[in-house]
């Protein structure tokens, strides 16, 4: 059973730009994903605004990583995770625990100056069937 949505989440999740930005994130289209989430972030005033910013920062961290800017990737991963820490396992219909786990593993590798190529890329997975909150 999914937790109840905050009132500001419903129109945001119904916006076709949100679904498109999630798809771009999962496709590794970091720049385009950033543009989509940023437009929504500018329009959002409720509790989900900070979650959008955290997701945005994780996306931009991936762009920095692809371009070899390890310091920028590390900083933005940390900031994105910090913003998402305020939320429970689900926000905006997304499994934030799954996103945080992937981003945290990447952050730890970057902080320890370990190779990151073998690590999975952070993904936005819908919370739903099979979700148990423990991921």
- Does residue 54 lie within any of the structural domains? yes
What is the reported pTM? Answer: 0.89
> How far, in Å, CA of 38 to CA of 25, rounded?
12
- Would you mind telling me the total number of residues written for the chain in this entry? 135
Report the C-alpha gap between 34 and 74 in whole angstroms. 17
Number of domains in the chain: 1
CA distance 59 to 43: 19
Helices (H) and strands (E) in the chain, counts: 6, 2
Q: Which residues span the domain enclosing 80?
A: 9-111
Residue 135 counted as domain residue: no
pLDDT by residue (tens digit) across 80-89? 999 999 999 9
* pLDDT tens digits along 47-75: 889 999 999 999 999 999 999 999 999 99
CATH number for the domain that contains residue 24: 1.10.3450.10
């Amino acid at each position: 059973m999914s937790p109840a949505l905050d009132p500001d989440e419903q129109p945001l999740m119904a916006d076709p730009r949100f679904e498109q930005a999630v798809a771009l994130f999962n496709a590794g289209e970091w720049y385009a994903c950033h543009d989509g989430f940023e437009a929504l972030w500018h329009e959002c005033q409720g509790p989900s605004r900070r979650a959008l910013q955290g997701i945005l920062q994780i996306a931009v961290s991936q762009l920095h990583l692809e371009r070899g800017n390890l310091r920028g990737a590390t900083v933005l991963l940390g900031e994105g995770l910090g913003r998402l820490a305020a939320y429970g396992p689900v926000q905006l219909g997304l499994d934030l625990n799954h996103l945080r786990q992937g981003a945290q593993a990447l952050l730890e590798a970057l902080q320890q100056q370990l190779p990151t190529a073998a690590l999975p890329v952070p993904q936005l997975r819908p919370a739903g069937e099979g979700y148990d909150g423990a991921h």
